[in-house]
Structure 1
């Protein structure tokens, strides 16, 4: 039962980035050719399709329309004067598709070297279902193999809370574990910890939330554009151990398009039960015609939790983060980078039966940098995605007066390449990719665990087959994990030594469209999880969790079927 009190979330959204509008409208069928007027202008350089998009009623140019070349996937957003220009590989005629909110989508043929004026008819446009992006390709939420939940716009505002777990707690099958307002962790269908993957823009967060119930997820939800809770075969793209599911916080930290005018949002929150208040702001501007810039800042503070029998001391929170990102956007795709710094200070209550004697203060710090490029080469490939990232994380647990009880440090460097293809042979779409990572774990304080290095390599493939009313999705993934502690020794918990694990995981799902509004889906998956560093080598008191951690260096892999 939630504590007494209520929460208030107030948000003001400025114009939505035009790339998101183009994505939302991608499924709207084009009207007949009779509703569109195409004029020819003077000749232009070959190997580019160009033109101007106008309103058919007033003749005024339309900025923010998404123009896509169907044969290559090349795209552009119209400028303030309604103009666009997209490179094409040859001088043949190409069909372009034009979408804009409030106007009927159209598809017209354009000859390179003959710029066109396209007039769009004003139309009431029924918006499609919420789009899920953490799957093989952007998909309506009711067309995923297994149930998915998406928090965006008004729904995200209604459910927004101080932590990520509390924000998604309304999803069926999702529960929350907590040792205080700042430590809530999500549980999906009874699975938590390392059996759930926590992602930011598709990349792992890199905290130590799975090593203790007192650890908070190092993600702030207040600046999220969208939060997705994903289960099913597509989860294999992100890891072999995602049997519980995937929670993906989407921010678009590396901008994918140049807005034609500044866009952004602000969010303010307040909560009575902890006397908490906070807010966040995000702004994206076009520095040049090819370079967007995104900046973000957030802050959230809360006092001790108030209950009917008094105040629970040691439950205060103080969280803040800053982030920035930029990219170069062109006809071939985009490439850019981003950074984020996050800090969270929170308390763990004590002084009661079953807890430690006094409250414990915890400090989290996380710095992350990312490089990302998405190339649209055509020739049967929708996109080639290249990602590289580095994350540094530090976690202190302080006991009164200022004694270091436990220290966790983690560094992660990773790289990933993924190719998404369009229809090819029997496959409607698919993806193939590989990922490598290096991690360094460090420990200190009363917890006696060896510093450990972990190296992982993975390769995966995911394919979709469309058979009339049935969609089949199948995935296969191979993972190898090597763990090497900084010393080999015989201890009270066993023989501490290097370990290596490898396994194949897979998933299979099917979706039957019974009627236009009703679908029936089923899926099966085999997941494997290697023992965590803490499960293998931990030895010593973890006072904030009020536990004495004992590892087992001889643990084997865990296999799950579901």
Structure 2
């Protein structure tokens, strides 16, 4: 397959006095060159995922992509954008749907976040379901592997992907005089005739910030160097393209924050639409939409034992309908809320070193439903409450990290009024997870000739509650080509995870190597029984 891709992005910053001239004059880019960059006009290059203390030296393996590096990696899906990250592949289900696979784990063992909060969809339910985020609208992507993902739940045992878009600014983007900054992204490709673009604008002063972004991407069937058959509307043709691989994606957001002496408060609303072919079937396509509201704030410098408190709330409303030859077949819905609170305590001087850390509370609830020919799981409600802690102990030779999380998870099957085989049922789980990590800096330990080197290691014990479909599924699933049957008697999935790494940095030169072992007990997966059933469940 011959492929030519052209992608470009540019960002400009204008002082408030130059805004009118920027609109009226083609010489506006010169203003961006002469205007000094405003403080905070770009996101700080500090990994934030699983790093609540803002440390520059991380114990857990992490990767971060932004700016030109993200631009050069950018693909049509999150999975393909990250596919060349060490330890990361994708669940590639054609050019329109793929989730990241981290260290061999996928599905609901990988948590995909939006600005550190829940990103609710049903992409973990089936490989043909797309993630509700498009790389064209993203400022930065962070990938966290190993025990550091503990803060986000036992379901994040494989890792965390945090999509950061700055729709709720956390720091002032300009000084008191104010200004406007913007970014335009244009992408063209020949293999799938991609035509995509995005526009982002931000304005404000040191007291407030406003953000708006829009994006649109359209692709045709992917061209390939051999003839493939395609049957649509009862007519079969042979073409040099992958049948039913076209897509149309668009969305946008509006957000803003107000800043005060010791913190900020912000909110955003966003929408995402994605209509795409599933490639497994010549006339099957998915029409998806999700709307999300987020509220976030932080109070710093409290002066007592608690130094700061940060809160996040989000509400997501997701649905997609699967069509066959233009006729609707099955509609999936997922609606949920998440509340997350993090409190950082003051530094405690121990006999071993300085102890810093955060305590947290996470509450979330979601309601799932599927109606139609492939409703293979019942209506369900999942509620979760969790307490977690993360601590770092500074040592003369580096640091130690400790983490713990306790959860209460309730999964309810609410049946389905049109499918009698789905019966009401309920299960409760109390997963516990712990983690211990260490970073050794040879320079601090007094070892000579090891400048720039660091060694890390992590050990964690995790427990994961089964998902609703793992417990209560009972129906045909076209994407997997099987009749899926859950088991309401499933217990918690348990794992012991160990990783060790060695890294070196000198100026712009870096080197890193790591190894890991995951040992699971009661691992939950799809297994063939050798039995057959029809679409009605009769065998």
Correspondent of 2:223 among 272, 282, 306: 306
- Whole-angstrom CA distance in 2 between matches of 1:545 and 1:282: 38
Is structure 2 residue 14 aligned with structure 1 residue 13? no
What is residue 320 of structure 1 aligned with on the other side?
A: 250
Does the Cα contact within 8 Å between 1:233 and 1:474 map onto a contact in 2?
no
Correspondent of 2:461 among 505, 526, 544: 526
- Whole-angstrom CA distance in 1 between matches of 2:14 and 2:180: 10
Shift of 1:493: 8.3
Question: Structure 1, residues 252-309: CA drift from partner, whole Å, max 9, x if none?
Answer: 21122333221221111122211112111111101x6522111011111111011111
What is residue 502 of structure 1 aligned with on the other side?
A: 430
Is structure 2 residue 460 aligned with structure 1 residue 543? no
- Whole-angstrom CA distance in 1 between matches of 2:156 and 2:456: 19
Shift of 1:494: 9.4
Do the aligned partners of residues 6 and 381 (structure 1) sit closer, same or farther apart at CA in structure 2, a change above 3 Å counting? farther
- Whole-angstrom CA distance in 2 between matches of 1:359 and 1:178: 19
What is residue 267 of structure 1 aligned with on the other side?
A: 185
- Whole-angstrom CA distance in 1 between matches of 2:187 and 2:37: 33
Name the SS for the 2:149 alignment partner: helix
Does the Cα contact within 8 Å between 1:242 and 1:527 map onto a contact in 2?
no
- Whole-angstrom CA distance in 2 between matches of 1:544 and 1:506: 36
Gaps of 5+ in 1: 18-60, 67-76, 78-100, 102-127, 351-355
Name the SS for the 1:450 alignment partner: coil
Aligned 1:459-474 pairs, distance under 5 A = 459-474=387-402
What is residue 311 of structure 2 aligned with on the other side?
A: 386
Is structure 2 residue 263 aligned with structure 1 residue 333? yes
- Whole-angstrom CA distance in 2 between matches of 1:413 and 1:403: 28
Is structure 2 residue 365 aligned with structure 1 residue 438? yes
Aligned 1:117-516 pairs, distance under 5 A = 130-134=45-49, 135-140=51-56, 143-260=57-174, 261-286=179-204, 289-309=206-226, 310-350=240-280, 356=281, 358-379=282-303, 381-404=306-329, 406-426=330-350, 427-446=354-373, 447-487=375-415, 497-514=425-442, 515-516=450-451
Is structure 2 residue 476 aligned with structure 1 residue 559? no
- Whole-angstrom CA distance in 1 between matches of 2:491 and 2:347: 40
Gaps of 5+ in 2: 16-34, 227-239, 443-449, 498-539
Shift of 1:131: 2.1
The TM-score, its normalising length taken from structure 1, stands at 0.75
- Whole-angstrom CA distance in 2 between matches of 1:341 and 1:262: 23
- Whole-angstrom CA distance in 2 between matches of 1:7 and 1:529: 41
What is residue 22 of structure 1 aligned with on the other side?
A: none
- Whole-angstrom CA distance in 2 between matches of 1:215 and 1:308: 27
- Whole-angstrom CA distance in 1 between matches of 2:189 and 2:366: 38
Name the SS for the 1:235 alignment partner: helix
- Root-mean-square deviation (Å): 2.5
Name the SS for the 1:498 alignment partner: strand
- Whole-angstrom CA distance in 2 between matches of 1:488 and 1:278: 40
Do the aligned partners of residues 294 and 343 (structure 1) sit closer, same or farther apart at CA in structure 2, a change above 3 Å counting? same
Does the Cα contact within 8 Å between 1:461 and 1:476 map onto a contact in 2?
yes
- Whole-angstrom CA distance in 2 between matches of 1:465 and 1:444: 51
Name the SS for the 1:241 alignment partner: helix
